[in-house]
Structure 1
């Protein structure tokens, strides 16, 4: 995978100082010593046929790449994409292959899109972006440059599978975490952190990191698990939560807003709270492992299998000082 064309877009912008370290961090993020499956994933990526699509749609619920193919090419596409299982975020339509991902990520986009500042012309960061579904939606909404970061190489390869056909060098997904963003960069107009905060041992530090990526007045779009309650309520699971072992803090929306104000954010407001359903997160032919239905109590679906409140997710917006 070559990221040079995308990184060239950093030159002459507030992102340019990052070029001093980013290539070394990308190389470390794709280390074969850490990810033994990477050669197999790359083999699937390289098996995709060379095709120029006649239709690319980044502004619909299903990211779509389409055009004429023959039977052999379509078989190559299907086999290559299935070699990148599991697909978590989507959906995608790649010629005749529909990737029915675990998450209906389009539902989340529908919930947040009416509330956020228009993305036209903006430089955008998506932290923990997975396969890049929302990055494509951001670009489709008019963002000038979209950078997604995620430390899981499989997701980078999945993004590259779409990029193989789309060839839009103003969108990139890199094998990085937020800790690789230079301190005080303050280069982004909008920053998304969705499904990340509850995985952080120190949520306050994560909010400070997010604040430092934003220009003054830039918008944070924060989506995370929450519980019902007031400004002093926060769940700290003693063991696993919905079978996830790395869940640390689930605040109420009042407490979450307080954290944001405490870290200097302005105009903090919760715009959506939705209980996650087994229609939005589920096992499919493209994600065949356990999913939400196996993580909640079948007799009391308002509880996880551990007895905690079932997953409820909030979207909170805030402005950087």
Structure 2
């Protein structure tokens, strides 16, 4: 079910990525090791339990969906839902398979609507999505015309969720999710036309290093799309939480947009600019039947939703774009 044969063949024809083939299969094997992920056999079993169905249609442009309710029996629908629920929690989406709606924690389609107007035209572009989760935005990028999309995320469960979707959205489509972090990419690739990093920067101990890593993935003139937590403020303002932020341990830096633009300039990017800023709402991130753990409502001060439970400013996210030198 998890098969990179097609991707490896494709990389043979991309000169800037061909050399990666010397190490990539070993990296994938390590990233999907059952010694690292004890539940991996259960996730593979869930993939094997998915019913064999061939949807008559696939939609990637306006939503991510495949098939209709007329193409599945009640027994197959039960089998499909049971297998997908074995991959709980579902954080990014929504997805729709044969009228089964996967109501994910995040309304990732809302984030897509915020970034899509600011993407350079995607036709014939090679795209990298860093920290892509289960690959929802990878499919939207493909639906918007990208030639090929590669997502990277170190979570093997997200890889399993991605391949559950790929079974019905199309094995032959040029979109893949590798079980890797950005540090696994060869240095100074200069290969991608567009690179996205969404919801990653604030988890990095060194934001400057992450911005330089992102720059090195891009060909000269390529576009960076950066989405991250920010605070209100001017140039030089940055929140460095001493403890947790919204109950997350690994949040290191929340800059103002002006500060983040200056960081991008310092790392060599051209024309960095903030194109969107939005306070995360309880309708966009919430607990659902497909994600039953704590969510945003549990992370905010119950007496003042403008603050996190720790007293920091509530989550506000910005989208910035810039170009590689």
1:108 maps to 111
- Write the distance in 1 (CA, Å) between the matches of 2:260 and 2:109: 24
SS of corresponding position for 1:190: strand
The 8 Å contact of residues 5 and 169 in structure 1, kept in 2 or not, is answered as: no
Whole-angstrom CA distance in 2 between matches of 1:89 and 1:150: 13
Q: State the TM-score, normalizing by the size of structure 1.
A: 0.98
TM-score with structure 2 setting the length: 0.97
Report the equivalent of 2:155: 152
Which residue number corresponds to residue 275 of structure 1?
A: 279
Q: Does 1:250 align with 2:254?
A: yes
SS of alignment partner, residue 66 of structure 2: strand
Cα offsets for 1:244-269 (capped at 9, x unmatched):
00000000000000000000000111
Question: Is 1:132–2:154 an aligned residue pair?
Answer: no
| Structure 1 residue 169 displacement after superposition | 3.5
**1:57 and 2:59 equivalent?**
yes
Deviations 1:18-52 (A, max 9, x none): 11111100000011111111111111111011111
1:28 corresponds to: 30
CA distance in 2, matches of 1:236, 1:284: 31
The one-character-per-residue Cα deviations of 1:259-313 (angstroms, maximum 9, x if unpaired) are 0000000011100000000100000000000000000011111100000000000
Q: Which runs of 5+ in 2 are unaligned?
A: none
2:172 to 168, 174, 187: 168
Which blocks of at least 5 consecutive residues in structure 1 are unaligned? none
After superposition, give the CA deviation of every residue in 1:138-196 in whole Å (9 maximum; x if it has no partner). Answer: 00000000000000000000000011112233000010010111001110000000000
Looking at structure 1, the residues matched to 244 and 168 of structure 2 have their Cα atoms a distance apart, in angstroms, of 40
Give 1:96's aligned residue.
99
The aligned counterpart of 2:228 is 224
- What's the offset of the Cα at 1:96? 2.6
State the superposition RMSD in angstroms: 0.8
Distance 2:318 2:247 in 1: 20
Helix, strand or coil for the counterpart of 1:278?
Answer: coil
**SS of the residue aligned with 2:167?**
helix
Corresponding position: 1:2 with 2:3 = yes
SS at match of 1:142: coil
CA distance in 2, matches of 1:226, 1:298: 21
Aligned to 1:320: 324
Q: What's 2:12 paired with?
A: 11
